[in-house]
Homo-oligomer: A and B are copies of this chain.
Amino acid sequence: MPEYPTALGAASKDTITLLGHDLANDVMGEVSFGELAFWLATQRRPTPGETRVFEAVLAALADHGYTPTAIISRLTHLSAPDSVQGALAAGLLAGGSRFLGVTEDCGRFLHDVLAAQEQLPTDDAGWDALALETVRAQREAKRFVPGLGHHVHKDGDPRTPRLMAIAAEEGVTGPHLALFAAIGRVHPEVLGKTLPLNGAGVCGAALADLGLPLELLRAFALLARTAGLIGQLAEELRHPVANDIFLSVDLNNRPVDPDPYVPESF
Interface residues of A (CB under 8 A from B): 1-20, 22-25, 27-29, 31-34, 36-37, 40-44, 52, 55-56, 58-60, 62-72, 75-76, 78-90, 92-100, 111, 114-115, 117, 120, 152-159, 161-163, 166, 169, 175, 199, 208, 211-216, 218-220, 222-224, 226-228, 230-235, 237-239, 241-242, 244-246, 248-250, 252-264, 266
Known pairs A83-B83, A88-B219; A259 contacts B63 (CB<8 A): no
Q: Are A6 and B66 interface neighbours, CB within 8 A?
A: yes
Tell me which residues across on chain B come within 8 A of A42, comparing CB atoms.
Answer: 234, 260-261
| Contact for A2 among B20, B60, B228, B244, CB less than 8 A | B244
Known pairs A83-B82, A83-B93, A248-B248; A266 contacts B231 (CB<8 A): no
Tell me which residues across on chain B come within 8 A of A264, comparing CB atoms.
Answer: 111, 115
Closest B-chain residue to A94, C-beta based?
B79
Tell me which residues across on chain B come within 8 A of A90, comparing CB atoms.
Answer: 72, 76, 89-90, 93-94
Q: What are some 28 contacts across the A-B interface (CB < 8 A)?
A: A4-B254, A6-B65, A8-B231, A9-B63, A10-B255, A11-B65, A14-B158, A18-B62, A19-B258, A24-B162, A25-B162, A29-B166, A33-B34, A33-B37, A42-B234, A42-B261, A43-B235, A44-B261, A65-B250, A67-B250, A78-B94, A79-B99, A84-B216, A88-B89, A211-B261, A223-B230, A248-B248, A248-B249
Copies in the complex: 4
Q: Are A230 and B220 interface neighbours, CB within 8 A?
A: yes
